[in-house]
A and B are shown apart, each in its own frame.
Chain A
């Protein structure tokens, strides 16, 4: 269904009459508004379905002396209690390193870690029984915060460094030097649909699992390893998720494994759906960081040397922390040239849940450090931060990243920032804000305003080379209808819609003819997670190739039957043009069946030019960059710490958009999610390592009334990817999240008005409490 909207421009090709470039509604939109779209928990449960609920000890760290499950076993409805010893083969649900037990055996590594799981006739019975365990354990004082980890816990994995020149020396030689430390909080994904899976035992060793997962292949593999059966015996399927954001990349596996284990042992379908509080305690989050920074620059703010030391809380195990922290380093420059620099990353072990992928995957924290430094320089020199940012952008001759590559297409950042500064009237509004703040100070007013315009330059690709591949399967039927299946998963981002558009375009047919089917490991095998923003880049290309194979077969057939050359056959508007004649698409597909031409094909795509070598710190980790900029204006109440975002302007490059409505949705949603991370969302762990904000009553994601009423989002109209991506589009999943850094900078600006040339000591998230602390610090220094 095409969307008509005055904010959205149609970029489709009028010669094809199909849908690439057109704003189309999400492929499930009608089902969504009717409430009939089916998520895993909505499926009618087959007769005999059992329910699984995990149980845990009330400590964060310690050895288990006694795990007495007698009362659990004897509780009404309980059929089985799973423990580590119930697992036939491999007790691991980790993505890479083999260090995440499905059920912990003797030792507790974080508060909420599952030690057992109850299998009962009903979910209610299982939940009640899970409370009856008698656990005796020797609790050890846990290492909770990253600072404690640095002192006592040590490094979970080796540090990693990018280094160029001698930053210590170059900083020392500078006219101006600054240094500081600040903290960046983590973030709970808060997908609206919690973790859920249902497993169906099949004949022999077969197992079929429906899971809300971004990575069906990994679940297939982990379940097979756990049960000691070949991958070929296990199928994992996902039609849609109710949100993912990285939180169902590695974190969905544990629950699918438990469901499969229960299904194997009881011989009945087994379902697990985490309660929200358990979900928030038991699954990993965005990494929180301590950043220690130091830089040297000239009187105009031009950087000469930068030294950034990142220390992140990884939790008890590796999970995806290596790649996440690497990406922090890849983006510690954001869009700026650091002539001499050291980017150091320490990955700290703590007795907390293992932190994981979250939209941006470490990139946001790296960028926030860069932007914090820009604000610090500008405030120190009493200059406009926009000016300092523009001065430090990559430029000809100053265009090598800290990891030694030229960031291709970087010039676009400057153009986007300049355009946004103009359309958003940045300079004029900054002057007005300066006047407002002076008047407020003179009149003892309680509001201060701030404004900031920050860029985003985000590298697109998995930094691990072999993940940059995808497959697709296209089937065309005699009646001219089309089925497409690919390795990507739908989590609301509109991937399936975009893939449908791509396939419709290949055949020149209306999108209504193309049906997308659930992601299944037995249709397209050996897939990567739907992650790193590359869902449509990879799967779109694979689907286009699969459809292209069939289109060429059809063209060859038409050429033979109608005695024309193959290049005289074209597909548009549901018709096949054959020389001077035109026949309906479905006529040709019917002929293909009669003429014994195969109408099924697979397609595979591997991103070219991936040369990154982590060992030698060389090569190219990214196929291209996605870019954008945002300008945010905020008001801060310096007596209460409350903050309101008054206006946001965004200009973002999505290349040649496959679907402008979906892309704008990603930009708006990403921005607001990023704003939540930096302002309202606070993960509070107590000293015993217990997460105290484990429900939406205390963990506050943005609501309707928190987002700016004046929200102006535009796609960069000349967008076209220089690289030959699918229809020259660009990835859009993660990059917009980091546009929200402009909000944090604007808050910094507002508070900084209270003093002269002092950087407000503001940590993220800038909650009212954090803002008040920063206000108090500036006032006490000033006073």
Chain B
């Protein structure tokens, strides 16, 4: 059996080390080893976005990233989105707009939206809809999610 890889990375601002098999995905390590279960496995094939995380500023599906690829990178997950008690404006707007139901897709949408607003603080509605088209939601019908993201963007621009 091959030795496990020793990975040094930064997750939600915290220097983190873990051991993993070469074929383990970042999602498996986040969920099973590091107990960061906010990222969900919806399809394990990169089609649903429920495991969206940001790696070195880039939005990715954690189920399509090998855990070893996190070496020397920074990883942002839903668990790092709020600052302690203080929610991120996107989180607040998701609450205010009732933009969630069963909640499984919610972390992925929030991470994807955060990544969008970091690149484009003033997106049009179409830009929001197309950016978020990689995240599936089966409950809400999306309208409230789009409104929440646009509202949060407006808030964050001040």
Listed in ascending order, the chain A residues whose CB lies under 8 Å from chain B are 1, 3-5, 23, 25-26, 28-39, 41-42, 44, 189-194, 240-243, 245, 275-276, 491-494, 661-662, 664-665, 668-673, 695-697, 701-707, 709, 711, 713
CB within 8 Å for A242 and B141 given contacts A25-B95, A33-B91, A35-B78:
no
Q: Which of B95, B103, B129 contacts A709 (CB 8 A)?
A: B129
Return the chain B residue nearest A711 by Cβ.
B143
Cβ contact of B98, chosen from A23, A275, A493, A695, cutoff 8 A? A23
Chain B: CB-nearest residue to A245: B138
Once bound together, how far apart are the Cα atoms of A47 and B23, in whole Å?
Answer: 24
Q: A25-B95, A189-B138, A192-B105 are in contact. List 15 more A-B contacts (CB 8 A).
A: A32-B106, A33-B94, A33-B95, A34-B91, A41-B41, A191-B138, A242-B103, A494-B101, A661-B98, A669-B101, A696-B48, A697-B43, A703-B132, A703-B136, A705-B130
Q: Which 9 A-B pairs have the closest CB atoms?
A: A35-B38, A492-B102, A35-B78, A32-B103, A242-B104, A672-B141, A668-B141, A492-B101, A42-B37
Cβ < 8 Å to A, chain B residues 121-149: 125-126, 128-130, 132-146
Q: A4-B96, A26-B101, A242-B104 are in contact. Are A192 and B129 (CB under 8 A)?
A: no
CA–CA, A363 and B140, complex, Å: 21
The answer, among A190, A240, A707, for a CB contact under 8 Å with B138, is A190
Distance (Å) between the CB of B78 and the closest chain A CB? 3
In the bound complex, CA of A670 to CA of B40 (Å): 23
Interface centre among B36, B50, B96, B145 (most CB of A within 10 A): B96
Residues of A within 8 A of B82 (CB): 34
B110 within 8 A of A: yes
Question: Do residues B100 and A33 form an inter-chain contact, with CB atoms below 8 A?
Answer: yes
Which chain A residue lies CB-closest to B107? A35
- Report how many residues on chain B are interfacial, defined by Cβ distance under 8 Å: 56
Bound Cα distance A659, B82 (Å)? 27
Determine the distance from Cα of A190 to Cα of B106 in the docked complex, in whole angstroms: 16
**How far apart are B52's CB and chain A's nearest CB, in angstroms?**
11
- Bound-state CA distance A36–B103 (Å) is 10
Inter-chain CA distance A23–B97, complex, in Å, is 10
**Residues of B with C-beta under 8 A to A662:** 98
B44 interface residue (CB < 8 Å to A): yes
Asked if A704 and B133 make an inter-chain contact with CB atoms under 8 angstroms apart, the answer reads yes
Most B-side CB within 10 Å, residue of A44, A276, A494 = A276
Q: B139 touching A243 by the CB < 8 A rule?
A: yes
Whole-angstrom CA separation of A704 from B142 in the bound complex: 6
B contact residues around A23 at 8 Å (CB): 98
Contacts of A704 in B (CB 8 A): 128-130, 132-133, 135, 137, 142, 145-146
* Residue of A33, A42, A493 with most chain B CB atoms under a 10 A cut-off: A33
Report if A5-B42 is in contact (Cβ < 8 Å); known contacts: A192-B136, A697-B47.
Answer: no
- Are A668 and B140 in contact, with the CB atoms below 8 A? yes
- Residue B22 lies at the interface, judged by CB distance under 8 Å to chain A: no
Across the interface, A695 reaches (CB within 8 A) one of B36, B43, B77, B97, namely B43
A383 to B123 Cα, complex, angstroms: 43
Interface CB pairs A-B, < 8 A, 18: A25-B98, A30-B95, A35-B36, A192-B104, A193-B102, A193-B104, A243-B101, A243-B138, A276-B43, A493-B139, A669-B138, A670-B141, A696-B42, A697-B43, A702-B141, A704-B142, A707-B142, A711-B143
Contact B100 A26, beta carbon cutoff 8 Å? yes
Is B157 part of the contact surface with A, judged by Cβ < 8 Å?
no
Q: Which of B41, B45, B130, B144 contacts A665 (CB 8 A)?
A: B144
Given contacts A5-B97, A33-B94, contact A39 B141 (CB under 8 A): no
Known interface pairs A36-B38, A671-B141. Does A695 touch B50 (Cβ–Cβ under 8 Å)? no
- CA of A668 to CA of B101 in the docked complex: distance in angstroms? 11
B155 within 8 Å of A (CB atoms): no
**Alpha-carbon distance A4/B148, docked complex (angstroms):** 12
CB-nearest residue of chain A relative to B36?
Answer: A35
Chain B residues within an 8 Å CB radius of A1: 95
The 8 A CB mask of B99-119 against A (1 = contact, 0 = none) is: 011111111001000000000
Determine whether the beta carbon of A34 is less than 8 Å from that of B141: no
B114 to chain A, nearest CB (A): 12
Q: Is the CB of A35 within 8 A of B37?
A: yes
Q: Which residues does chain B contribute within 8 Å of A697, judged by CB atoms?
A: 43, 45, 47
Q: Which B residues have a C-beta under 8 Å from some C-beta of A? A: 31, 35-45, 47-48, 50, 77-79, 81-82, 87, 91, 94-98, 100-107, 110, 125-126, 128-130, 132-146
- Of B38, B105, B139, chain A has the most CB atoms within 10 Å of the CB of B139
Q: How far is the CB of A490 from chain B (nearest CB, A)?
A: 8
Set A33, A494, A713: member contacting B106, Cβ < 8 A: A33
Decide if the interface of chain A is mainly helix, strand, loop or mixed.
loop
Q: Is the CB of A493 within 8 A of B101?
A: yes
Cα distance A85–B101 in the bound complex, in angstroms? 41
CB B16 to nearest CB in A, in angstroms, measures 17
Whether B48 pairs with A33 at a CB distance below 8 angstroms is: no
A275 and chain B: residue at smallest CB distance: B44
Q: How far is the CA of A672 from the CA of B144 in the complex (A)?
A: 12
Among the listed A664, A672, A695, which residue makes an inter-chain contact with B142, where contact means beta carbons less than 8 Å apart? A672
Taking CB atoms, residues of chain A closer than 8 Å to B136 are: 190, 192, 696, 701, 703
Distance, CA A1 to CA B96, complexed state (A)? 9
Q: Nearest chain-B residue to A676 (Cβ)?
A: B138
* Chain B residue at minimum C-beta to C-beta distance from A8: B98
B144 CB contacts on chain A under 8 angstroms: 665, 668
Q: Are A705 and B133 in contact (CB under 8 A)?
A: yes
Given contacts A1-B95, A33-B110, A696-B47, whether A241 and B79 have CB atoms under 8 Å apart is no
Known: A34-B38, A695-B43. A705 touches B129 (CB 8 A): yes
- What is the CB-to-nearest-CB distance from B117 to chain A, in angstroms, rounded to a whole number? 15
Bound form: Cα–Cα A426–B103 in Å = 36
Chain A residues near B44 (CB, 8 Å)? 275-276
Residues of A within 8 A of B43 (CB): 276, 695-697
| Shortest beta-carbon distance from A121 to chain B in Å | 13
Complex Cα distance, B51 from A35, in Å, reads 11
Neighbouring B residues of A702 by C-beta, 8 Å: 141-142
In the complex, the answer to whether A28 meets B140 with C-beta atoms within 8 Å is no
Chain B residues near A673 (CB-CB < 8 A):
138, 141
Query: Does the CB pair A695–B133 fall under 8 Å?
Result: no
A194 and B138 CA atoms in complex are apart in Å by 12
Asked if residues A44 and B35 are in contact (CB atoms below 8 Å), the reply is yes
Closest partner residue, chain A, to B42 (CB atom): A192
Least CB distance, A563 to chain B, in whole angstroms: 46
A709 touches B141 (CB 8 A): no
Find chain B residues with CB under 8 A from A276 CB.
Answer: 42-45
B143, A668: Cβ atoms closer than 8 Å:
yes
Q: How far apart sit A245 and B104, CA to CA, in the bound complex (Å)?
A: 14
Taking a contact as CB atoms under 8 Å apart, the answer to whether B143 and A707 are in contact is yes
**A29-B139 contact given A696-B47, A704-B132, A705-B133, CB 8 Å threshold:** no
Which partner residue on chain B sits nearest A34 by CB separation? B82
**Given the complex of chains A and B, what is the CA–CA distance between A701 and B133 in angstroms?**
11
CA distance A36 to B77 in the complex (A): 12
Considering the chains assembled together, what is the distance between the CA atoms of A494 and B103 in angstroms? 11
Give CA–CA (A702, B137) in the complex, Å.
8
Instruction: Determine the chain B residues whose CB is within 8 A of the CB of A29 once the complex forms.
Output: 94-95, 98, 100
Q: Which residues of B contact A191 (CB under 8 A)?
A: 102, 138
Of B50, B125, B133, the contact of A192 (CB 8 Å cutoff) = B50
CA distance A709 to B150 in the complex (A): 13
Q: Which residue from A5, A38, A703 sits with its C-beta under 8 Å from B133?
A: A703
Nearest-neighbour CB distance to chain B for A704, whole angstroms, equals 4
A376 to chain B, nearest CB (A): 29
Residues of B contacting A665 in the complex (Cβ-Cβ under 8 angstroms):
98, 101, 139-141, 144
A241 CA to B103 CA, complexed, in Å: 9
Q: How far is the CB of B12 from chain A (nearest CB, A)?
A: 11
Q: Complex: how many Å from CA A273 to CA B33?
A: 17
B82 to chain A, nearest CB (A): 6
